[in-house]
Structure 1
Amino acid sequence: MLSLIVFVPLVFALVMLFVPKTQEKLLYLLAGIGTLIPFVLALVLASQWAAAPVSTEPYAAGMRFVTHVPWIESIGVHYTLGVDGFGFSMLLLSTLLFPLAVLASYKYINTRVKDYLILLLILATGTNGVFVTLDFILFYVFWEIVLLPMYFLIGIWGGERREYAAIKFFLYTLVGSTVMLVGAIYLYVRTGVGTFNLLQMAAETSRLPLDALTVFAFFALLVGFAIKVPMFPFHTWLPDAHVEAPTPISMLLAGILLKLGSYAMVRISHPLLPQVATRYADLVFVFGVVGILYPALAAMAQKDFKKQVAYSSVNHMGFFIMALAAASKLAPTDPDLAQVALQGGYFVTIAHGLISPLFFFAVGMFYERTHTRDLTKLGGMFLTVPVISFATAFIAFANLGLPGLAGFIGEFVSLTGSYPAFGLWVLVAGVGMVITAAWHLLTMRNVLLGEAKKEYAGLPDINWKEKIIFAPVAVLIVLFGVYPRPVFDLLAASVQTLTQVMGLGGM
């Protein structure tokens, strides 16, 4: 089933190669089916989750729905797929967002539609593959598969500065990938473990002495993943990429592409070298809280609506970094509090994966009608397009962390779990939250309130396509804000396992 979820989009991409480029409706239909099937399969697996056996094999311990096939046995590379709570939550998010992105692209992307949709399906294969693989080399293959289609999706269908944004994204990610690969190969050679299986490598690398080379390997992995998150100060590619990317690609970039980095941290860097993660937790915490405060200030200074939302993504992912650092520090002495921090941090990534795509979609709805993202040129939209304005207000309140919506839960639990590790320094994150709330309120005042502008009179309000995209994700934002237990239950076993590993690393 996991193999189908990964490769069905690729199969449909190959089929679409033989469809004439003039048959745009057929191409969109095939792309929609090719991304919808993985979502249906993921829902089937979700219905079987509780009853699914948990593997006890060393190459997939604690994982469900495992596939294990030899691949390059001479160096210990295997086609090993499996998911735990960390991976499966991201897989559900990914398979949900890709069909919505295809629908958002319909009648929005009108040039080279065939090429665009094929690249989108290849991107789905890469992202889904990252979340299910348990072998580092296979992980690296899927990680690099993501890079190329995203480069072209921004560089061809983006805005005026699309080439600059695409090259900047490509260079940042390529450098990060190369550094990450060097770190992993060093651990493979040093331990002599003879396999690139992530779980079997972790059993050996977690016992390595804390020396200069293990520290180098940890930060090589961490930097590679931090660029993708993106973590301050590696975030500068993201605002440019978002501003130039078409709206459906911004939805995917914020909703799922950034999660590749956060997922890789809990799957690879911290389980492989928990002794280093614990030793340098304070340093990682600093980058986390600065990554909360600085982007909030940067967002407040922006005049471009889309760039403002882009900075908010960096801001929110800072909570994950902060909570992960707290869990690393607390695990050896207080594993229960470490689990609270880790659950809160990972919940932030899931909530952000639902909220941020809708925020970019809301910006896109305004841009399609007004042809501007300049906050000084918008205003009075509640009187012009009331339904779109209400939807934008809803998603803005979710993004600023309003209680009762999903954004609040993760941030609150992250702060609760991080305070015992870092004390009053966590208040820096609180200041970032206040600034974030302030710019959201200012933006809503500038865009939604005031007198209706004459030049925007008669603009059409929300249409059926936009309602279909917005409604299901909005329901999940409310559901998880009121009743987050299903997410916490899904994460519980994985959080406990990682906390135990990090606890051993601090002894």
Structure 2
Amino acid sequence: MLSLIVFLPLVAAAVLAAVPASVGRRVFAVSWVVVAAADLALVVAAWIGYDPSGGMAYEQQLPWIPTAGVSYHVGIDGLSLPLVAVTAGLFLACAIYSLRQTHRVKSFVLLFLGLQTVSQGLFTALDLILFFVYFDLSIVGMYFVIARWGHGSAKRSALTFFLYTFIGSLALLLGFIGLSLAAQPHTFDIVALARAAPLAGSGAYGALVLLAIGIGLAIKTPTVPFHTWLPPAHTDAPAAGSAILAGVLLKMGTYGFVRIAMPLLPETWRQYASVVVVVGVLSVLYGALVALAQEDFKRMIAYTSVNHMGYIILAVGAAGILAGSDEQARSLAVTGAVTQMVSHGLLTGALFLLAGILYDRRDSYDMSAYSGLAGPAPVFAGVTGLVAFASLGLPGFSGFIAEFQIFTGSLASATVATALALLGILITAGLLLRALHRVFLGSLRIPDAPGAARDFTDLRPSEAASILPLLAMAIAIGVLPRFLLDVIEPAATALIGMVGR
């Protein structure tokens, strides 16, 4: 089942690669929508058949490089299934959004289908080398998305993104090798390593392994001070590329913390959890403050991603501090972290698609060049407002559920840090409201246009069909979160049990 979910897009890409580009762009664009919809349907079927109390499900293990202890080992639990679902949903949204794509459509579709396989493969991987392969391939795929279909200084931004994150992946590989060498017998199997905890009592060696893994994951997340590749990459990427980069690829870093760093290095994680908390708070405050200073709408959203990823890092750090907290609070923090991954994927993915509409209409993200767009584009303004309110964590949306759990679970063990992180919500609210006021209210102003209402088109059907379902899902989680929390909570409790060993 999982292998079908993971490799269906890649098989479709191989088939479409044999189709000549002369058949027309619509063939490739529609095929992508069909394949993405089929893959999402398979994920929904897997969700329906998943038993949260049963632990790892849909497992499959085949030898790959047996002499090195490497296998094709896949499976899902409550930590990974929600991210597989968000990935499938976001790729479908991007496929629908890109129906109007006209530039190198065949290559564009093939690349995104390959990225979908890589992304879903990482969230199902239960072998460190398999995880690393998917991790590295995602860097390659996104590099070409930015370089070939981006705008502005796209090639430079793509190169910065590639070099920065590739260095992080090398650090990650060193950490993985260090973990494997400590195990007897040597293995890269995540389940076996979690059971054995081979670096328990290893002191400095365990700290170095955690440092290597932590740097690799922190760059991908990204956290302060490893975030500098993110704003230019987002600003210059196409809208669909930014949505996948923020909604899916950033989660590879945060997911790595809960899947690898915490359960495989529990003693070392507890020892350095306070450092992780500090990094999380710095990311929350720095991301929000720098976002407040931005004039570029898309760059502002990029810095809010640093802010929102900081909440996740705060939560997983607090979950490793045993003093002053109980198991229920730590489990709640992890549950909130995973819920935030889902919420951020939906909402920030939608925000980047909405930002793409500005560029599609007037080739500019400069907020000072726009005003009064609520007049000619009321649906666009209304949807952007709702997504922005959801992103800042208002009740009734998924962001509130995630942040409430993070703060409640983190408060006992990291009181001061959590109190400081609360300021991030206030700053985020201010910057998003400021952006909405500048772009959508006041007298009509459009770059290089006479200012008539006809000069700015409202949401087109393909744009609405891609963005509105993401918003609807965020509302569903905010109003009726049990269908998601029932999946995450048992896995979060099991993870806390491993960390507390």
TM-score per shorter chain, which class? over 0.9
Q: Is the 8 A contact 2:340 2:399 kept in 1?
A: yes
**Structure 1 residue 348: Cα displacement:** 1.1
User: Helix, strand or coil: the match of 1:82?
Assistant: strand
Q: Is the 8 A contact 1:331 1:338 kept in 2?
A: no
Q: Which residue of 2 aligns with 1:59?
A: none
**Structure 1 residue 447: Cα displacement:** 0.6
Segments of structure 1 that go 5 or more residues without pairing to the other structure are 55-61
**Structure 1 residue 72: Cα displacement:** 1.7
Partner amino acid for 1:224?
G
Q: Which residue of 2 aligns with 1:14?
A: 14
**Structure 1 residue 8: Cα displacement:** 0.8
Q: Map of 1:39-438 to 2, 5 A cutoff?
A: 39-50=40-51, 54=54, 62-107=55-100, 109-205=101-197, 208-330=200-322, 334-438=326-430
Deviations 1:62-108 (A, max 9, x none): 3101111122211221111110011111000111111211121121x
* Seq. identity, %: 36
Q: Which residue of 1 aligns with 2:469?
A: 472
Tell me the distance in 2 between the aligned counterparts of 1:193 and 1:205: 13
Deviates more, 1:471-480 or 1:286-295: 471-480
Q: Which residue of 1 aligns with 2:494?
A: 497
Tell me the distance in 2 between the aligned counterparts of 1:328 and 1:151: 34
Deviations 1:436-466 (A, max 9, x none): 1111111111011111234352122112111
Tell me the distance in 2 between the aligned counterparts of 1:456 and 1:308: 27
Tell me the distance in 1 between the aligned counterparts of 2:452 and 2:218: 41
The yes-or-no answer on 1:457 pairing with 2:457 is no
User: Helix, strand or coil: the match of 1:403?
Assistant: coil
User: Helix, strand or coil: the match of 2:73?
Assistant: strand
Partner amino acid for 2:18?
F
Q: Stretches of 4+ moved more than 4 A in 1?
A: none
Q: Is the 8 A contact 1:122 1:145 kept in 2?
A: no
Tell me the distance in 2 between the aligned counterparts of 1:494 and 1:66: 16
Tell me the distance in 2 between the aligned counterparts of 1:497 and 1:385: 48
Deviates more, 1:336-345 or 1:313-322: 336-345
**Structure 1 residue 135: Cα displacement:** 0.9
Q: Is the 8 A contact 2:223 2:310 kept in 1?
A: yes
**Structure 1 residue 128: Cα displacement:** 0.6
Q: Which residue of 2 aligns with 1:4?
A: 4
Deviates more, 1:449-458 or 1:261-270: 449-458
TM-score by length of 2: 0.96
Q: Is the 8 A contact 1:370 1:456 kept in 2?
A: no
Q: Which residue of 2 aligns with 1:34?
A: 35
**Structure 1 residue 53: Cα displacement:** 8.8
Q: Is the 8 A contact 1:344 1:414 kept in 2?
A: yes
User: Helix, strand or coil: the match of 2:62?
Assistant: strand
The yes-or-no answer on 1:488 pairing with 2:481 is no
Partner amino acid for 1:324?
V
Tell me the distance in 1 between the aligned counterparts of 2:460 and 2:179: 53
Tell me the distance in 2 between the aligned counterparts of 1:175 and 1:424: 33
Deviations 1:312-331 (A, max 9, x none): 01100100000001101138
The alpha-carbon distance between structure 1 residues 484 and 411, as it changes in their structure 2 partners (threshold 3 A), is: same
TM-score by length of 1: 0.95
Q: CA RMSD in A?
A: 1.5
User: Helix, strand or coil: the match of 2:19?
Assistant: coil
Q: Is the 8 A contact 1:218 1:269 kept in 2?
A: yes
Partner amino acid for 1:200?
A
The alpha-carbon distance between structure 1 residues 497 and 391, as it changes in their structure 2 partners (threshold 3 A), is: same
Deviates more, 1:364-373 or 1:75-84: 364-373
Deviations 1:382-434 (A, max 9, x none): 11211100011111111111111111111121111111011233221111111
User: Helix, strand or coil: the match of 2:458?
Assistant: coil
**Structure 1 residue 207: Cα displacement:** 5.1
Segments of structure 2 that go 5 or more residues without pairing to the other structure are none
Partner amino acid for 2:30?
L
Deviates more, 1:452-461 or 1:221-230: 452-461
